[in-house]
Amino acid sequence: MARTKLNPVFNTFRGKIGDLVFKRFGSSTIVARTPDVTGRVFTPTQLEAQDRFRQAVQYGKLVMADPQAKALYEAAAESREQPLFSLMVADFINEPTVDEIDLSGYTTQAGSRIMVRASDDFEVTGVGVSVINTTNETVIETGAAVKSAELARWVYTATVTVPPGTPVRIEASATDRPGHRTKKSETIN
């Protein structure tokens, strides 16, 4: 990529002028040609991706209008040296994940603990846990896990003792700031 110093007038440009697109990245101005997509037929997967990106841009605009939410992203963008709006768009596009359900402290007794490790490219805002009877698919208990800084996990403390011999499935769901939710489950026989 060639680098050149533009006339200072161009440093304030952003957007499209003719067939050129001016973009700001940090203190630099980047100039590129507008892509020509005339006659191009997009696949259903590409159309889905375009729609998801449109939704992500809309999310970014909503966050920019909310001073509190914007401040959270501004701090992260500055520390990561990443453009603010791209951080918002990426957060919308990348859903959270439940990386691990740790059942080593869960004895099916009230008071025992289920630990969940969840991650997101920006922030996991909540983790929910459900204990489900796999015989009849009824929910035995459900609730929110609490974030534990010392364990680097989300911790759910059981409130119900499961009768011995009852097969159960533990479901954990992670939610991120845009409101996406993903689930993972582990079965105990």
- Of residues 23 and 62, which shows the higher confidence score? 62
Hey, what domains does the chain have and what are their CATH numbers? 17-35+42-93 (no CATH), 97-188 (2.60.40.10)
The rounded distance, in Å, linking the Cα atoms of 27 and 15 is: 16
Kindly report, residue by residue over 129-159, the tens digit of the pLDDT.
Answer: 999 999 999 999 999 999 998 888 999 999 9
Task: Specify the pTM.
Answer: 0.76
With pLDDT > 70 as the criterion, what percentage of the chain qualifies? 92
Q: For the residues 28-56, what does the mean pLDDT come to?
A: 89
Enumerate residues 6+ apart whose C-beta is below 8 A from 31. 6, 10, 20, 21, 22, 23
* DSSP H or E stretch at residue 67: helix 67-80
Kindly report, residue by residue over 8-41, the tens digit of the pLDDT.
Answer: 666 666 777 888 887 777 677 778 888 887 888 9
